[in-house]
Homo-oligomer: A and B are copies of this chain.
Amino acid sequence: MKPDHTDLPQPICTVDIVLLTVRDDGLMVATLKREHAPYIGRSALPGGYIHADEDANAFGAAMRVIRDKTGIVPPYLEQLSTFSGPTRDPRGWSVSIVHYALVPGELIAQANNASVQLLPVDRPLALPFDHELMVRTAVERLRNKSQYSSLPCFLAGETFTLPQLQRIYELLMGEPLNKVSFRRKITEMDMLEPIEGGFETAGAHRPAQLYRLKAAFRQRLMLLERGL
């Protein structure tokens, strides 16, 4: 007779978040100093236990952890992957449901949380657990999805100009993009609306039109979580 699951040791169940943002013309990941063992005092991804008494699901747990630990409510949050095994956490066989968040740089500044440390993703990160693998997986996912989606807009803030947005796409792709092709694609996707009379003027040159994401694309976060 096989033992019931209640007899077996159950895995530890946590969530971790790869919070990505753009600063200093580069893609950065947010880390926090760990306040508890293991690896107390080391910089690591924000994470925590699922609270069965208050979380609606892993997505809600990730949102709560981000909000409580950084003061940021990310405009985009999506499940990335689940990491598991007996050795990834010294506490034992563990499961971490990892989400990645996209946040405009301005939101990080507004939160004004000194404990949040931004590290460039392109250099070695020296993070505990398998957090470095999580970051690399998230960046890869973001780069893949950026090729054919509006995701990078969530790194760009409430309003932005097309040259600014193109720069973000270029950062993610790692290569310069053709201006005409870029604008053609953005137009086809029909995801932006110009802000009447809104212009960004930053120097002795023609000012650029300001845009924002259309409402339908801003709502995507919720739709994704409801199963589509």
Contact = CB atoms under 8 A, between A and B. Distances in A.
B82 A227 contact: no
Interface in A119-176: 133, 136-137
B8 A10 contact: no
Interface stretch (A24-32, A48-56, A105-113): A48-56
Contact of A52 (B11, B52, B82): B11
Contacts of A9: 52-53
Nearest to A14: B5
A49 B8 contact: yes
A84 interface: yes
Contacts of A85: 56-57
Given A8-B52, A10-B13, 9 more contacts: A8-B51, A50-B95, A52-B93, A56-B85, A56-B86, A57-B83, A57-B84, A79-B82, A133-B227
